Amino acid sequence: MKILAINGSPNRNGSTAKLIEMVLDVCKDAGAECESLHMEDYVIGECSACIKHLKDCESCQGQDDDFMQLKAKMLDADGIVVGSPYYSGKPTVPLKTFINRIAFTSVNNSFFENKYIVGISTSAVSNSKKIARFCATLGHSSFMGNGIVSGMIYESTVDKVVMGDIADNQELKDKAKTIGLKLIEDIKIKRKPKLYKLKKIIFKKWVKVLYIKSIRAFDKIASKVRKFAEEQGWIKKINKIED
């Protein structure tokens, strides 16, 4: 059994890293093979919106960065732990950039449908639940059949850090133990959420079609509205730039 942890925090020894290690320690004690990675050690280019991901990720394979290497590590793992601090309501830029690519390249291929994922997030003052959920769902791509959320830990750690080392906090140790053991158990029994197959069929077959058709319909309506407004003189006509 392999567990891969990805730390999106720029602080290698910060609160997020320590929470991740707490979970991994529990998994190691249960006999799992664990590896912890730091996003700052990898070069991940931004998504180019090439739409080639709908076929076989050929564009991502052609980019000169570490994306495919890191993705391969995720595919080789049974469980994945993803963590990021709360930065102005978002995960860190390196992790967000990576998950953008993961979400797009997985949306039509379900690469991670049998992976169990734990999301971790910390914040000094705010509720970081939405960041933990973002991590646990790989940018919400799990709704498209990619990954199964095994658990989340989201903590406002300012008091715990000020009062002492976060690694010595018994409350967090207990939470990490619960999440770690659940991750191991989920992998062993291959747990599936309620109505998993039904949701998978609905989202994979109908939501994508509805989404694409809705976007196309909106574009057509927007073009007609703009053309009408230009003819009425309500807005200035935009001249196309010739090559």
Q: Residue 52: its pLDDT value, please?
A: 62
Q: Residue 30: its pLDDT value, please?
A: 96
Q: What is the pLDDT of residues 195-229, one digit of tens each?
A: 666 666 555 555 656 666 787 788 889 888 888 88
3-state secondary structure the chain: CEEEEEECCCCCCCHHHHHHHHHHHHHHHCCCEEEEEEHHHCCCCCCCCCCHHHCCCHHHHHCCCCHHHHHHHHHHCCEEEEEEECECCECCHHHHHHHHHHHHHHCCCCCCCCCEEEEEEEECCCCCHHHHHHHHCCCCHHHHCCCEEEEEEEEECHHHHHHCCHHHCHHHHHHHHHHHHHHHHHHHHCCCCCCHHHHHHHHHHHHHHHHHHHHHHHHHHHHHHHHHHHHCCCCCCCCCCCC
* pTM for the structure as a whole: 0.77
Q: Residue 147: its pLDDT value, please?
A: 82
Q: Residue 229: its pLDDT value, please?
A: 86
In which residue ranges of the chain is pLDDT below 70? 51-59, 61, 106-109, 141-146, 158-165, 167, 195-212, 238-243
